[in-house]
């Protein structure tokens, strides 16, 4: 967290452009107290050039402000256009502190930044920890929402949800799974990895499988659906015939595997029917070679069936996220623009180099399954790469600029509250009866924090 955020609080931080807003700057401790009778305040829009170099276009504004009886400085100002603004407090020409605020156009007002992960694993497939512990650990790391998406399994996401159903938390656990349909002979293979985020029932379990030790659990209706009217299961042979028949109704692009392409399209459609986000995941993961041939990735982008592209996640070598980012922007240039997400695809939530390498910021009116899905579908999301301290953001340039402000000026404060709730969640999941009482006592702080910093 930046030193100035430790020493000074400024609120609200985000507000509508073109409307007057009253802002408070509060010293956080006697060491940061405003001891002078008055200060020069400079309001600096970042988009309009330095007044020294662009004297005819700059929007810098200067005024004198005085601390009030409670030690805070307050001022009212109209920030005319959508952008970040520096608020500088000076004594003469000497700068005391520089803080940041952001003015938004109307469509983003009422949308709050929620951080989360749409793709990760637990010990129910090939991960390391239980669903409840994974969920708690990622709350501790600053997540507002999360979906457990174990391979071929929907029920671990429900297990995480059930683990906390009787405790007060401000954390949205969403159902999900990584979809892998059965592989048959050489004419019936599809190994493209697709994520079902938020679907109300399992797409994996549309096909009855009896070869895994937990097949009975996967096949039971209560573990494959959150709704009563989920589709009946089919056999593997019925599945192959279904996709073959579907393939006969669509155009298969030249140079790609017929069944693989058709199966992807079918899976995307089934996830959407279940009410979920159909996410095309990590095509440039090197699994022997690139996990998805670029010709197939190109065809899937051109066909426009999936909901969102997992542009970041999974691995820390350049080919993975670097190539996916370049591929995404190249597809945008071709008119094939999709919503983006970032996910860890983690297989261990602790002591793992890749446990915290990527995430997603969704700008949504509320932290619910429905609002998150709708907001991603409407392209109000940004993918976040934190492989190194030199983070990067991928998505629409306008949203990236705003997300960058959020990342530096709001999330460090937000994450402190998340840490406390996540630590208590883990204790609760491991049997500490006192944790529920403390969780109840602190519940509501995240909402109050949003209301403090976002003046919508």
Quick one: which of 384, 277, 372, 261 has its CA closest to 325? 384
Residues 6+ apart with CB under 8 A from 204: 152, 153, 154, 177, 179, 180, 181, 196, 218, 224
Assigned domain for 389 exists? yes
- How far is it, in rounded angstroms, from Cα 313 to Cα 321? 7
Same structural domain, 380 and 298:
yes
Question: Which pLDDT score is estimated for 29?
Answer: 98
Domain extent, residue 18, equals 3-105
Q: pLDDT (tens digit, 0 to 9) for every residue of the chain, 456 residues total?
A: 999 999 999 999 999 999 999 999 999 999 999 999 999 999 999 999 988 888 887 789 999 999 999 999 999 999 999 999 999 999 988 999 999 999 999 999 999 999 999 999 999 999 999 999 999 999 999 999 999 999 999 999 999 999 999 999 999 999 999 999 999 999 999 999 999 999 999 999 999 998 888 999 999 999 999 999 999 999 999 999 999 999 999 999 999 999 999 999 999 999 999 999 999 999 999 999 999 999 999 999 999 999 999 999 989 999 999 999 999 999 999 999 999 999 999 999 999 989 999 999 999 999 999 999 999 999 999 999 999 989 999 999 999 999 999 999 999 999 999 999 999 999 999 999 999 999 999 999 999 999 999 999
Question: Which pLDDT score is estimated for 314?
Answer: 84
Assigned domain for 81 exists? yes
Question: Which pLDDT score is estimated for 220?
Answer: 94
Q: How many domains does the chain have?
A: 2
Quick one: which of 5, 7, 10 has its CA closest to 30? 7
Assigned domain for 449 exists? no
Same structural domain, 262 and 170:
yes
CATH classification at residue 358: 3.20.20.140
Same structural domain, 162 and 295:
yes
How confident is the model over 379-407, as pLDDT tens digits?
A: 999 999 999 989 999 999 999 999 999 99
Largest CA distance in the chain: 82
Same structural domain, 62 and 182:
no
Q: Of 105, 135, 168, which marks where a domain is finished?
A: 105
Handedness of CA 49, 391, 178, 171 (dihedral sign): negative
The count of C-alpha atoms lying within 13 angstroms of the C-alpha of 116, restricted to the half-sphere facing its C-beta, is: 28
Question: Which pLDDT score is estimated for 285?
Answer: 96
- Is this model's pTM higher than 0.95 or not? yes
């Amino acid at each position: 967290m930046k030193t100035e955020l430790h020493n000074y609080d400024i609120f609200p931080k985000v507000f509508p452009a073109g409307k007057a807003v009253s802002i408070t700057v509060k010293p956080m401790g006697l060491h940061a107290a405003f001891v002078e009778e008055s200060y020069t305040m400079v309001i600096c829009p970042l988009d309009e050039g330095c007044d020294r170099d662009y004297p005819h276009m700059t929007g810098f504004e200067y005024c004198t402000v005085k601390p009030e009886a409670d030690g805070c400085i307050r001022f009212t100002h109209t920030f005319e256009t959508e952008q970040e603004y520096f608020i500088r407090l000076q004594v003469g020409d000497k700068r005391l502190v520089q803080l940041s605020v952001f003015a938004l156009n109307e469509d983003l007002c009422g949308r709050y930044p929620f951080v989360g992960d749409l793709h990760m694993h637990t010990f129910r497939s090939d991960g390391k920890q239980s669903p409840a512990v994974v969920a708690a650990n990622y709350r501790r790391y600053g997540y507002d929402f999360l979906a457990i998406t174990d391979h071929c399994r929907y029920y671990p996401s429900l297990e995480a949800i059930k683990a906390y159903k009787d405790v007060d938390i401000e954390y949205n656990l969403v159902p999900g799974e990584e979809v892998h349909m059965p592989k048959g002979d050489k004419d019936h293979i599809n190994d493209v990895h697709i994520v079902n985020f938020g679907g109300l029932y399992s797409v994996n379990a549309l096909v009855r499988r009896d070869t895994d030790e937990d097949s009975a659990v996967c096949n039971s209706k209560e573990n494959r659906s959150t709704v009563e009217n989920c589709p009946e299961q089919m056999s593997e042979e019925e599945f192959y015939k279904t996709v073959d028949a579907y393939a006969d109704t669509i155009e298969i692009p030249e140079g790609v595997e017929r069944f693989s392409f058709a199966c992807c399209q079918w899976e995307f459609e089934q996830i959407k029917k279940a009410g979920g986000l159909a996410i095309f995941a990590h095509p440039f993961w090197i699994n022997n070679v690139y996990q998805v041939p670029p010709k197939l990735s190109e065809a899937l982008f051109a066909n426009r069936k999936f909901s969102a592209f997992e542009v970041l996640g999974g691995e820390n070598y350049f080919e993975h996220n670097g190539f996916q980012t370049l591929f995404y922007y190249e597809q945008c240039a071709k008119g094939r623009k999709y919503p983006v997400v970032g996910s860890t695809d983690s297989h261990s939530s602790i002591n793992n180099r890749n446990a915290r390498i990527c995430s997603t910021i969704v700008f949504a009116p509320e932290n619910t399954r429905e609002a998150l899905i709708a907001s991603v579908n409407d392209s109000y999301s940004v993918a976040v790469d934190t492989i190194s301290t030199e983070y990067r953001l991928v998505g629409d340039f306008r949203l990236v600029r705003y997300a960058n402000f959020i990342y530096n000026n709001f999330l460090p404060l937000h994450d402190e509250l998340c840490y406390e709730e996540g630590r208590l969640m883990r204790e609760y999941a491991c049997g500490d009866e006192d944790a529920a009482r403390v969780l109840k006592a602190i519940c509501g702080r995240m909402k109050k924090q949003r209301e403090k910093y976002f003046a919508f």
